[in-house]
Amino acid sequence: MLRVGRGKAFNKVLRVPGDKSISHRAVMLGAIADGTTRIENFLPGDDCHHTIECFQRLGVKIEREGATTLTVHGKGWKGLREPDQCLDVGNSGTTIRLLLGILAGSPFFSTVYGDASIARRPMARVVEPLRRMGARIDGRAGGRFAPLAVRGGELKGIEYHSPVASAQVKSCLLLAGLRAEGWTKVKEPHPSRDHTERMLKAFGAELSLGEGAVSVRGGQSLAGCHVRVPGDISSAAFLFAAALLVPGSRVTVRDVGINPTRTGILDVFRSMGAEVTVTPTDQWCGEPVGDVTVAGGPLRGVEVGGDLIPRLIDEIPVLAVVATQAEGRTVIRDAAELKVKESNRIATVAEELRKMGAQVDETSDGLIIEGPTSLQGALLDSHGDHRIGMAMAVAGLASEGEVRVKGAEAISVSFPNFAEILKELE
Ligand code: S3P
C-alpha cells in the first residue's frame, strides 16, 4: 500500500530511470546482432527483466553489471535456439509483440505467455500481419490472445497499412521484415514512437522512411552497438504533473529523452498554461536527450486528439489527474487504444478519480474532465496497472486527506524507485 499526503511547494532537480521502450529494444536488437552490445542506464523494471529472461531462454548470453548496466553477447539470428521452456513476458506488451516478430522468422518452435493483463490484450494486430508474411502462429481464440505458439520459418515481405497507430505493431513487423524475403513496408494512421527505427540505424541497418511509412529490406544483419538509455519521459511526466499539482513548485528532470514522438505531454502542459523549458543537451544512440523544467501556474482545460494521441498515449492517466485542477473542461478524444493497455485506462482512470470527488465522464474514445474540483483522500486501486498506480499516487499530492493506493507493487514495472522520489515531494 502506497500512502501519499498533500504536497508542499518544492523546487527539485531529479533524474528518472531509463526509458522502458528503448531498454527493451536495446536487449532485443543486441540479441539478434553480431557482436557485443553494452547497455547503460537500462531500466531495472519488471517489464525489461522479462525481456532479458526471454532472450536468455533463447540462448543469448546476457551479463549484468549492477542494476543498470548490461552486456548482450549477440551471435546474430543464428545465435537464437529453440527454448526448452515457455517464454514468460510478465505484464509487458512491448516484449510479447516485438518478440513475436523475432520468433516468426526464427526456425524453431516456441510459446509465449504472460500475466492476466497480457492474456486480455489484443494480439491479432500482430498475429494477422505476421501470418500474411507466412508465419505459423497458433493460440487462444484462434491466435487473438496469448498464450501463443510459434513455429518459425521463412517469411516474405509485405506492405501493411496498420489500422492502429502502434509502435509495437510497427516494430514487430520491422523485426520480422529483417528476416523476410524482399521489402516490408508499414504504414500507420498517425506517427507512433520511432525508437525501433532510430535504434536499427544505430545497429547499422538500412531503412527507408517517408510518406508516413517505414520500409526495411530483408536479409540485413545488425552489428552490436553501445546504447546509453535516456531517462524515460513517461516516468518524468509524473514528476512534471506533481509540480503542476502542488502550487508554487518547479521540477527539472535531467538527461530525459526528448524524442518528438514522445513529447506530446509537454506540448499539452504548455497549452494548459504551465511553464515548460526544454534544453537539448545530447544525442544518445540516435535519441535526443535534454533537461526539462516544468513549473506550475493557473491551468486551463484543453482539447487533445488526433496526431497528438500517440505522442502522449501513456501520459493520459496523469494528464487526467492534472485536468481535475485546471479551470474549465478537458476533452481527450481519439484515444480508444487506452482500453487495451495494461488496464482499460478510460474506465480505471474515471473510476479512481471519481472516488476522490473528481468530475469525470467516460466516452467511447476518451475522457471529459471538468475542473477545478477539490480532491478528497480515498482508498484507490492501481488495477494492477503501473501508470494508474502512479497517476493516483500523484493525485494524492493535491488532495485533502491521504490517498492510499492498493496494488502499488505494479509500479515496479516501469519506475522502481517512484515511491522514494515521491516521498521527497510530500
Ligand atoms: C510502446 C508502445 C506503445 C506504448 C507502450 C510502449 C513501445 O504501445 O503504449 O507503453 O515500446 O513500443 P502501442 O504500440 O501498443 O501503442
Please report the DSSP string for 383-422 in residue order.
Answer: TT-HHHHHHHHHHGGGEES-EEEETGGGGGGT-TTHHHHH
Name the grid cell of 12.
Answer: 527539485
Pocket lining: 188 vs ligand 1, CB cutoff 6 Å: no
Co-location of 330 and 395 in the same domain: yes
Co-location of 96 and 235 in the same domain: no
Name the grid cell of 351.
Answer: 473510476
Catalytic residue among 46, 88, 291, 314: 314
Strand partners, 63: 71
What pLDDT does residue 345 have?
Answer: 98
Residue ranges making up the domain that contains 80: 20-228
Annotated binding site: 20-21, 25, 93, 121, 166, 168, 314, 341, 345, 387
Q: Known catalytic residue: 314?
A: yes
Ligand 1 centre from 94 Cα, in Å? Answer: 6
Ligand 1 centre from 315 Cα, in Å? Answer: 12
What pLDDT does residue 190 have?
Answer: 96
Ligand 1 centre from 374 Cα, in Å? Answer: 32
The domain tally of the chain equals 2
Mean pLDDT, 10 residues at a time, the chain of 426 residues: 95 98 98 98 98 98 96 97 98 98 98 98 98 98 98 98 98 98 98 98 96 95 98 98 98 98 98 98 97 96 98 98 98 98 98 98 98 97 98 97 97 97 89
Co-location of 193 and 167 in the same domain: yes
**Type of residue found at 28:** M
What pLDDT does residue 288 have?
Answer: 98
Co-location of 157 and 96 in the same domain: yes
Which protein residue has the closest C-alpha to ligand 1 atom 10? 314
Domain boundary pick from 228, 254, 281: 228
* Model confidence, pTM: 0.98
Q: Measured from the CA of 98, which atom of ligand 1 is nearest? A: 12
Alpha carbon 247 to its chain's center: 29
Co-location of 115 and 39 in the same domain: yes
**Total residue length of the chain:** 426
Classified as helix, coil or strand, 52 is helix
Domain boundary pick from 193, 228, 263: 228
pLDDT in tens, 318-340: 999 999 999 999 999 999 999 99
Contacts of 365 (CB under 8 A, 6+ apart): 333, 334, 335, 336
Classified as helix, coil or strand, 106 is coil
d(CA 114, CA 333): 30
Q: Nearest-CA neighbor of 417 among 386, 388, 392?
A: 386
- Cβ distance 151 to 176 under 8 Å? no
Co-location of 109 and 191 in the same domain: yes
Q: Which residues of 141-174 are buried (b: 16+ CB within 10 A; e: fewer)?
A: eebebbbbbbebeebebbebebebbbbbbbbbbb
What pLDDT does residue 424 have?
Answer: 87
Co-location of 13 and 26 in the same domain: no
d(CA 231, CA 227): 13
